[in-house]
Amino acid sequence: MATIELTKDNFNETLTENDFVLIDFWASWCGPCKQFAPVFEKASEDNPDLVFAKVDTEDQQELAASFEIQSIPTLMVVRDRTVIYSQPGALPEEALQDLIKQARELDMDEVQREIAKQQADGDPATEE
């Protein structure tokens, strides 16, 4: 599947209609983004069952701000409308393939239970 361009107009629909989406937040002036682009494209070709999407942070500033993107490229992995990975930095091909493999193997029922538990208990990461 070809990489799709995400905008504020199609973002929610894309994440609602697809169970597994990898999102590359990038900008045309960003050197590391240009280096990561072919790695991301190759991964999209190697994993045709997944949705690979790009957000141009210059063109979609609202969208980038809503995810508090402060450094690009930032790669985000969303499964079942839940962000399971979000890190800045260009990954080498092997690391991206490993990340995809780990994300595929993740038990999303367990992830949802853990999120619900944290919300019920109050997120320990934010408590002093």
The residues carrying an active-site annotation are: 30, 33
Token pair for 123: 């997120």
Residue 67 to residue 63: CA distance in whole angstroms: 7
Exposure class string for 54-84: b at 16+ Cβ within 10 A, else e: bbbbeebeebbeebebeebbbbbbbbeeeeb
Q: Under a CB-based contact definition with an 8 Å cutoff, are residues 24 and 54 in contact?
A: yes
- The torsion region of residue 85 among left (phi > 0), alpha (psi -120 to 50) and beta comes to beta
